[in-house]
């Protein structure tokens, strides 16, 4: 598996079997209590009816004997047998009891049906929403999402959240797939056409075979090679075949190293650069790959935020891992573009044009490498203006 630091996320909440089991037991106990309560009422009514038929003097004597049952137990049993319970064990009495018992069982059936229907409805509403959405996705509608039903079990709500997250990733993957074929052909054709046109001009005598013209051709071929390498890296990550070499290293030294590599271009652009990180901050990751991510984010700031005049690399501990951020003072992202900033071949027309030299794969490559480490990359706009690209990695 890619992502040697990736951890399985544990969902809170009671498991579904416990939710069903508790309600099944409660439903069964309710039915039993209904039958038992009905039989108790039947016997209470029967006993009251018998007592009412006892002659008044005998009933007074019975009340006294029941108040002191040890006084004359023989007489108490005699009254019970003669006036109350003597016929209890006859076939007629047993048949009546069985008839009442069966009647209460029949009356409890609606309770069981209503309770079962209520429980089934709470389960089926959420499962039906997921099933309907799954069917729509199977038919090619990757924008479909399962709605969260009210009062559904926590386990099913978690299932729905996971399903919607999967659908969101499928939608993004489908969007990338649809765009990548045409975009890849276009991006590959652009440097090839430029190089071929320059060579053809040299063959036709339109251009002189000078070192400058050969450098222009080499620049186009280098751009083509860089694009192919990015596509190959993304394919490795998508296939979970990217080999990572984790090691422990100081984050500040990595940031300073990548900032030093970018220093000549930063000076050329007139940008102020700064690194903010604790010397003791350590991270376990593939240092070269993570350095590649930092360089991509720095390059992004230099391409599109040079007008802001500064860029800051910072790293710090935060709950759950290490945060590495690249902040700049440029124009930032349009709010509607934030969600798509890491898509393959995506450029905002106003600020991410091809004329700036980018292929549209940089942030997609960076996000994929970070994801392979079990982290995530997010794009934000700073409150004071400019962009903030943030990497969160587990320690």
Lowest mean pLDDT among 15-24, 297-306, 366-375: 15-24
Residue 32's pLDDT band (cuts 50, 70, 90): confident
Max mean pLDDT among 32-46, 77-91, 196-210, 320-334 falls in 320-334
State percent of the chain over pLDDT 70.
88
CA dihedral over 201, 203, 209, 212, signed as positive or negative = positive
Instruction: Give the single-character DSSP code of 58.
Output: H
Residue 286's pLDDT band (cuts 50, 70, 90): very high
Given a cut of 60, whether residue 356 has pLDDT beyond it is: no
* Phi-psi domain of 345 (left: phi exceeds 0; alpha: psi -120 through 50; beta: other): left
Cβ atoms 133, 151 nearer than 8 A: no
Strand 310-318 and strand 376-381: pairing? unpaired
Q: Give the Cα separation of 211 and 191 in Å (integer).
A: 18
Give the pair of three-digit tokens for residue 275: 């690194």
Mean pLDDT of 314-343: 86
Mean pLDDT of 265-284: 92
Specify the pLDDT at position 186.
Answer: 66
Q: Which whole-number Å values give the CA distances from 341 to 173, 299, 327, 363, in the listed order?
A: 14, 15, 15, 7
Specify the pLDDT at position 177.
Answer: 73
Tell me the pLDDT of the chain averaged across its residues: 81
Specify the pLDDT at position 88.
Answer: 62
> Which tens digits make up the pLDDT trace of 142-155?
888 888 887 778 88
Q: Give the Cα separation of 105 and 46 in Å (integer).
A: 19
Laid out side by side, the sheet with 310-318 consists of 272-276, 310-318, 321-328, 387-393, 376-381
Lowest mean pLDDT among 94-103, 136-145, 282-291, 324-333: 94-103
Given a cut of 50, whether residue 200 has pLDDT beyond it is: yes
Max mean pLDDT among 23-27, 240-244, 279-283 falls in 279-283
pTM: 0.54
> Which tens digits make up the pLDDT trace of 35-44?
888 888 888 8
Mean pLDDT of 84-111: 75
Burial of 118 (0-12, 13-18, 19+ CB in 10 A): exposed
Q: What is the DSSP string of 139-193?
A: TT-TT--PPPPTT--HHHHHHHHHHHHHHHHHHHHHHHHHHHHHHHHHHHHHHHH
What is the enclosing helix (H) or strand (E) of 124? helix 91-138
């Amino acid at each position: 598996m890619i992502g040697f630091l990736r951890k399985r996320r544990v969902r809170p909440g009671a498991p579904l079997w416990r939710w069903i089991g508790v309600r099944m037991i409660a439903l069964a106990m309710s039915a039993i209590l209904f039958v038992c309560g009905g039989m108790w009422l039947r016997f209470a009514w029967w006993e009251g009816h018998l007592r009412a038929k006892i002659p008044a003097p005998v009933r007074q004597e019975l009340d006294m004997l029941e108040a002191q049952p040890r006084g004359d137990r023989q007489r108490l049993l005699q009254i019970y047998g003669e006036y109350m319970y003597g016929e209890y064990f006859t076939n007629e009495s047993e048949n009546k009891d069985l008839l009442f018992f069966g009647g209460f069982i029949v009356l409890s059936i609606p309770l069981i049906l209503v309770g079962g229907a209520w429980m089934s409805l709470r389960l089926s509403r959420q499962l039906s929403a997921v099933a309907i959405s799954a069917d729509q996705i199977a038919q090619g509608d990757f924008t479909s999402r399962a709605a969260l039903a009210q009062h559904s079990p926590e386990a099913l709500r978690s299932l729905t959240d996971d399903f919607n997250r999967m659908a969101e990733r499928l939608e993004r993957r489908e969007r990338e797939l649809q765009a990548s074929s045409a975009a890849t052909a276009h991006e590959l054709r652009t440097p090839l056409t430029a190089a071929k046109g320059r060579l053809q001009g040299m063959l036709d005598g339109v251009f002189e075979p000078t070192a400058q013209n050969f450098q222009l051709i080499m620049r186009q071929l280098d751009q083509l090679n860089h694009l192919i390498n990015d596509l190959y890296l993304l394919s490795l990550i998508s296939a979970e075949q990217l080999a990572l070499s984790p090691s422990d290293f100081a984050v500040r030294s990595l940031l300073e190293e990548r900032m030093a590599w970018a220093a000549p271009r930063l000076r050329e652009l007139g940008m102020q650069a700064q690194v903010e990180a604790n010397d003791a901050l350590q991270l376990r990751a593939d240092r070269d790959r993570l350095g590649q991510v930092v360089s991509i984010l720095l390059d992004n700031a230099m391409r599109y935020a040079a007008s802001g005049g500064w860029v800051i690399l910072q790293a710090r501990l935060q709950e759950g891992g290490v945060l590495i951020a690249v902040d700049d003072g440029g124009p930032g992202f349009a709010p509607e573009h934030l969600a798509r900033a890491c898509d393959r071949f995506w450029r905002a027309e106003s600020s991410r044009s091809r004329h700036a030299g980018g292929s549209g794969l940089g942030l997609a490559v960076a996000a994929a490498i970070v994801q392979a480490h079990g982290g995530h990359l997010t794009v934000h706009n700073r409150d004071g203006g400019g962009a903030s690209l943030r990497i969160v990695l587990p320690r």
